[in-house]
Amino acid sequence: MIRSITQKKSEEAIDLLLNGLNRIFIIGCGTCTTLTRTGGEPEVRALKEILSQKGKIITGTTVVPVACDNLTRDFLREFGAQIDQANCLLITSCAFGVQTIARQLRKMVVPALDTLFIGKETGFGMFDEICTQCGTCIIGETGGICPVTNCHKGLVNGPCGGTNHGKCEIDVAKDCVWTLIYNRLKELERLDAMRKYQKPRNHQGEPKPGKFKLPAA
């Protein structure tokens, strides 16, 4: 399963963001941040407790089913009065959810989490980043293993000089991704793919935000 992976901002960071904002409505998300225990029911309750002790007025709380969904607007309607009383919304969803709610309601939004990456669940409570969405996918030549995401240096033309007996010099507990790619291509009898030179990555600023339009049918 694919999830938005988030981590809680520190109490100090949230205090700074809430400076001067004393009436707060807290919104959690029932999907990714509930699963990662960064923004579901218990985390919303804990935030309410902490902020109340600091003298903030919590006008209400809720956990929406899927913060990044357009239906969030409808879900939040029943909390209209409590939201109106607040001068900001403190949101424990990923940044996509925060932006969705910001578009839907005329209120200041304050993210309580930092969004790290889109991750694949690899075990109970464990997630690995699988793709940094670099825009130039080369895994057709690397046996389906992504060096952009899995190499600490993002190298796309073989290993750095620090690779050591198949391990990564930055994190010795981790396999060097280029060893994994080599082994995979060898197994597939496609080591020739490693000879292909990958052009330098484009690190120049791209026009933002990224846009995509379906071609005409």
Residues that bind ligand SF4 (CB under 6 A): 131-134, 137-139, 146, 148-149, 151-153, 155, 159-160, 162-163, 168-170, 176-178
The end-to-end CA distance of the chain, in Å, is 31
Task: Provide the minimum distance between the beta carbon of 117 and ligand SF4 in the complex, in angstroms, as a whole number.
Answer: 11
Taking alpha carbons only, the member of 87, 106, 104, 97 closest to residue 27 is 97
Q: Which is nearer to ligand SF4, 61 or 142 (CB)?
A: 142
Q: Which is nearer to ligand SF4, 65 or 162 (CB)?
A: 162
DSSP 2: E
Give kind and range of the element (H or E) at residue 115: strand 113-123
Q: Evaluate whether 40 touches 25 at the Cβ level (below 8 Å).
A: no
d(CA 122, CA 125): 8
Task: Provide the minimum distance between the beta carbon of 187 and ligand SF4 in the complex, in angstroms, as a whole number.
Answer: 19
Q: Evaluate whether 143 touches 134 at the Cβ level (below 8 Å).
A: no
Q: Which is nearer to ligand SF4, 88 or 146 (CB)?
A: 146
Task: Provide the minimum distance between the beta carbon of 200 and ligand SF4 in the complex, in angstroms, as a whole number.
Answer: 14
Task: Provide the minimum distance between the beta carbon of 49 and ligand SF4 in the complex, in angstroms, as a whole number.
Answer: 40
Q: Which is nearer to ligand SF4, 29 or 180 (CB)?
A: 180
